[in-house]
Structure 1
Amino acid sequence: MIDLAGWSAVRSGRPRLQVVVGAAIVLDGRVLACARSHPPEAVGKWEFPGGKVEIGETEPVALIRECQEELGVTISVGERLGEDQVLGQGRAVLRVYLAQLLGPTAPAALEHSALRWLAADELHDVRWMPADRPIVAKLGPVLRAAAR
C-alpha cells in the first residue's frame, strides 16, 4: 500500500505534521498525571499519557494503544479537551482527549517514574510539561463536575 500522505509531503517538500495524542484519564473527579523518566530535560516533569499517532491510525486508536503500552490499561476515548498545542518548533501538535478506564486493571508506571491522581485543587501541585499546561487549565471544571 502506498502512503499517499508521505508521498505528497515528499513531492511538496513539506514534512508531514506529527500528531501526538494525550489522555486526560478521569476517575472519581481526579485526573491521572505521569512523571517523565526521559529524555533528561523532561525528567521529573508531568504529562498526560500518550504518544505519536502512527501512519494509518486514528487519534483514538493511537491513544488506546499508547495507554496499553505505557500504563497497561484499556481506555475509552471521549471528547477532545482544548486546542492543538504546538510541539517541536511547529513540527508536531499535541491533542488531548478526555478518557475513562475500562476494566479492573489499575494503571502501572511502565514507562514513567511515577503516577498521581490529581483532584481539581491539586492540579498545580506538580510541574507540568509546557504543552500540557493549557490543557491543565481547562481541567478544573471537568474534574469538579466529575466529583459530584
Structure 2
Amino acid sequence: MTVRITVVGAALFDEGRLLAARRSAPPELAGRWELPGGKVEEGEAPEEALVRELREELGVHARAVGRVPGEWPLREPYVLRVWTAALEPGSPAPEPLQDHDELRWLGPEEVWDVDWLDQDVPAVRQALGHRPA
C-alpha cells in the first residue's frame, strides 16, 4: 500500500480576487501558474501546513478558512487538497520568496488568463465555487 502525501494548496482570496503564483522551478513547471502551497510535514495538520507554506513562500500571515471539497492526484505519491484562505489583518503584501517568480491577483474575469498547471485547473474551478463572500 502506497502512503499518500498531502500537498496543500491555498485558494487565497482578497477583495474577491484569487492569488495565482507562477512557478520558477523545476524546469518542467517553470512559467506555469498554481495555487501556492506545499507538502504537509509529518505530524502537521494540513491547515497548519497551509499557513506555514504561505508564510515561507509569500511572506504573509494568513489563515485557512475552509476546505474545498475534492482532491486531485499529482505525481505518485502526492495528492493535492485545497483550502480557501484569507490574509490576516496587518499582513504584509505577498511576495514571491520561494519557488515562484511572479504573483498575480486575478479578478473573476481574469482567472483563466493565466496558464494554470494541469492539476490546478479542476482545483481552481472547485475553489471558485467556494469563494468567501
Which structure 1 residue ranges, 4+ long, deviate > 3 Å from structure 2? 139-143
TM (norm. structure 2) is 0.92
Match of 1:101 in 2: 87
Structure 2 residue 81 is the aligned partner of structure 1 residue 84: no
Deviation digits for residues 73-94 of structure 1 (CA, Å, limit 9, x no counterpart): 1111011123100010x41110
Radius of gyration: which is bigger? 1
**C-alpha RMSD of matched pairs (Å):** 1.4
Identity percentage of aligned residues: 44
Structure 2 residue 15 is the aligned partner of structure 1 residue 28: yes
Match of 1:121 in 2: 109
Match of 1:17 in 2: 4
SS in 1 for 2:31: coil
Report the count of equivalent residues: 131
TM (norm. structure 1) is 0.83
* Structure 2 alignment gaps of length 5 or more: none
| Cα separation, 2, equivalents of 1:142 and 1:58 | 21
Cα offset, 1:140, TM superposition: 4.0
* Structure 1 alignment gaps of length 5 or more: 1-13
Structure 2 residue 107 is the aligned partner of structure 1 residue 131: no
Q: Which structure has the highest helix share of the two?
A: 1
| Cα separation, 1, equivalents of 2:9 and 2:2 | 22
